[in-house]
Structure 1
Amino acid sequence: MNSKIYTRREMAKLTGLSALGLLMSQNAMSFNLSNTMLKRPIFSSNEKLPVIGLGTWQTFDVKSSPTVDAPLVKVLEILREQGGSVIDTSPMYGRSEGVVGDLTKKMGIADNYFYATKVWTSGKEKGIQQMEKSFQLMRRKQMDLMQIHNLVDWETHVKTLRDWKEKGKIRYWGITHYLDSAHEALEKVIQAEKPDFVQFNYSIRNRHAEKSLFHTIEKNGTAVLINRPFESGSLFGKTKGKPMPLWCLDYDIKSWGQFFLKFILSNELVTCVIPGTSKPKHALDNMMAGFGRMPDAKTREKMYSFIKNL
């Protein structure tokens, strides 16, 4: 197995749109030991999801043009070709829902993904109108996952989502937030309403969810999507120019991005991580974190200590 450790800058030199094909043809030999991305179950159904997905905040909020669309199409192709499926978006993310819908339709592979979006408004009728608009923008007759964004008016929307799930309009429903301060509120909703999914922030330097949120998740059988895995990119500032420890090779970790994602995936309660990117080279690097050997609990603490002491 190739033992070189690639930083994201080195990956950029190796890749780019013109070189991605070569790199992708080599990934089974150079990046992982398995040809299949790891999958974990959605506990309410036992359906399994690939552990690396795609977030679209900012990255897909663009005005469409051939130049702008080309790298986003490549990102979506990489997601599918490497075994991923989850695309997470929201009305809050500007044009993102429409861009996802338009591009996946043009690609002719729209039904190959797991679509997750959100309701982000107050009031029953406004919520229904917003969600119906999301269906139109994303060109879906059925949504895989509809989430209550940042718990906005969740008491109202949960009734609609339960009804829509029963009627088959959505397959799953969930709740989301991105702040530590909301974790207690997420726990209360999980305990009271038993959503299929919960989405929240968790990363190698931000482990607040380990205090009690993960315990509540395990107790109630809730599937987990993780946002902000790179702490809005600040983790790469921490590791810029720093060599990776050689023991990373024992876990098929070839870049800092994979290091951070595999730390998260070492927690077996995490169903899927959704890093956002509009760059094919980063998308491919992210996908590779779903392959090969995963760190155990002891190694997770070793990884944390290494980053803490940089």
Structure 2
Amino acid sequence: MIDPNIKMTRRSFLGTVGTLTSVMLLPPRRLPAAENRFLLRPIPSSGERLPVMGMGTSRTFDVQGDAAAMEQLAQVLAAFFDNGGRLIDSSPMYGSAESVIGKLLGSKQGKSSLFAATKVWTDGRAAGIAQMERSMQRLGVDVIDLMQIHNLRDWKTHLPVLREWKQKGRIRYIGITTSHGRDHEALAQVLRTETLDFVQFSYNIADRAAEEQLLPLAADHGVAVLINRPFQRGSLFQKTRGRGLPAWSTEFDCNSWAQFFLKFIIAHPDVTCVIPATSKVKHMTDNMAAGVGSLPDADLRRRMVTHVASL
């Protein structure tokens, strides 16, 4: 479906946003060419390589009917693709997010480098099939790159359907998710017993429970890992507000607290892609910069943990 070597340009994307013409007047927000060497990681089940920085849409893309918010998000998407992004993660749980993404991306030409990830979040086989059909229509795609079972909801019912759809070519990869620690044991059991392409869970510098079994299990079973809640729902920024970065952050090309937190996650070898959500262009550009340059080694990661814990 998608050639991973195709890169969406700002011009091709903005040509798809229809009436949001004022966006086209904005200057590019691209990392300097010499620095725009985005780190890629392979999906173990296929070898396809993905940028380590993706984008989440929870809370930020539920803006159907708000013209000003739509225009702002068009700029956010342009900055995302301009700086090497591909994977956008959504869910029917996120209100109008899927529809907003589909409307802003527009034509198939505008989706040339999109890796569309969404979820099934309901009970029952028939309801799950109907929901996945709606997701495809809302996103405006013929094939979903990654369909995930959201928060393990009725996963034993949905997983056989996902496998059927994958065999038929309607989805390319299948996965399962959680976004809170209380389901880690249940998720670990699924990883031990089922064959999956992706798993998604929370992991950040302040919440490292996933290091105990989920990250090692994913690696052992050849499952790609998506990371949500990289900023602990903003609490990490509250902790660091008004504080400067430690001087040694320059050792891994870090220029902001967002990059500090994201590079900590990306530096874990078992992480495939992290998916922060934002509705601001400056934050998107800042986030994407975490995917270029050097990463902290194991000693620096331990130093990062100690430093944040001391604040």
- TM-score normalised by the chain length of structure 1: 0.90
Query: What corresponds to 2:126 in structure 1?
Result: 125
2:114: which partner in 1? 113
User: How far apart are 1:185 and its partner, in Å?
Assistant: 1.1
Distance 1:260 1:182 in 2: 23
Per the TM alignment, residue 21 of structure 1 is displaced from its structure 2 partner at its CA by: 3.2
How far did residue 65 of structure 1 move? 4.0
| Partner of residue 270, structure 1 | 271
Deviates more, 1:201-210 or 1:175-184: 175-184
Q: Aligned partner of 1:91: which letter?
A: P
In the alignment, does 2:86 pair up with 1:85?
A: yes
Query: SS where residue 106 of structure 2 aligns?
Result: helix
State the shift of 1:212 in Å.
Answer: 1.2
Does the CA-based 8 Å contact 2:267-2:297 persist in structure 1? yes
Any residues of structure 2 matched to 1:135-284 within 5 Å, and which?
135-284=136-285
Q: Which structure 2 segments of 5+ residues have no match?
A: 1-22
SS of the counterpart of 1:73?
helix
**How far does the alpha carbon of each residue in 1:268-290 deviate from its partner, in whole angstroms, 9 at most, with x for none?**
11100000011111011000000
Among all aligned residue pairs of Structure 1 and Structure 2, give the percentage whose two residues are the same amino acid: 49
Alignment correspondent of 2:299: 298
Q: Could you tell me how far apart the structure 2 residues matched to 1:36 and 1:110 are?
A: 21
Give the structure 2 partner of residue 287 of structure 1. Answer: 288
Q: State which drifts further: 40-49 or 65-74.
A: 65-74
Structure 1: gaps of 5 or more residues? 1-16
Secondary structure of the 1:87 match is strand
Cα offset for 1:186? Answer: 1.1
Residue 198 of structure 1 deviates from its aligned partner by 0.2
> Are residues 196 and 172 of structure 1, via their aligned partners in 2, closer, same or farther at CA, if it must alter by over 3 Å?
same
Q: Is the 8 A contact 2:63 2:97 kept in 1?
A: yes
C-alpha deviation, 1:107, in angstroms: 9.5
Post-superposition Cα deviations, 1:31-61, rounded to whole Å, max 9, x if no partner, equal: xx63221000000000000000110001000
Per-residue CA deviation, residues 225-275 of structure 1 (Å, 9 max, x unaligned), is 000000110100000000111111111100000000000011011100000
**1:20–1:281 Cα contact (<8 Å) kept:** no
Distance 1:245 1:19, change over 3 A: farther
* SS in structure 2 of the partner of residue 112 of structure 1: coil
Q: Which has the higher relative contact order, 1 or 2, with Cα contacts under 8 A spaced 6 or more apart? A: 1
Moved over 2 A (4+): 17-22, 63-66
2 CA distance for matches of 1:212 and 1:266? Answer: 17
Residue 28 of structure 1 is matched in structure 2 by 32
Structure 1: how far apart are the matches of 2:158 and 2:43?
Answer: 21
Whole-angstrom distance in 1 between the partners of 2:168 and 2:153? 23
Q: Tell me the distance in 2 between the aligned counterparts of 1:247 and 1:165.
A: 46
Q: State the alpha-carbon separation in 1 of the partners of residues 300 and 41 from structure 2.
A: 20
Q: Could you tell me how far apart the structure 1 residues matched to 2:66 and 2:109 are?
A: 18
Could you tell me how far 1:109 is from its partner in structure 2?
1.2
Gap change, CA 1:209 and 1:308, over 3 Å in 2: same
Residues in 1 aligned to 2:40 and 2:64: alpha-carbon distance in whole angstroms: 33
Question: CA separation in 2, counterparts of 1:259 and 1:39?
Answer: 18
Asked if the contact 1:42/1:222 (under 8 Å) is kept, the reply is yes
Whether the 8 Å contact between 1:51 and 1:271 is mirrored in structure 2 is: yes
TM-score (norm 2): 0.89
- Give the distance between the partners of 1:55 and 1:303, measured in 2 at CA: 24
Query: d(CA) in 1 for partners of 2:290 and 2:302?
Result: 18
Output the CA distance in 2 between the equivalents of 1:112 and 1:40. Answer: 16
Amino acid at match of 1:152: R
Q: Distance in 2 between matches of 1:228 and 1:183?
A: 15
Give the CA deviation at 1:111. Answer: 2.6
Alpha-carbon separation, structure 2, partners of 1:285 and 1:165: 35
RMSD: 1.7
Q: Say if 1:88 and 1:117, in contact at 8 Å, map to a contact too.
A: yes
Partners of 1:198 and 1:280 lie apart in 2 by 28
Measure, in 2, the Cα distance between the counterparts of 1:242 and 1:193.
45
Q: How far is the alpha carbon of 1:106 from its aligned partner?
A: 6.0
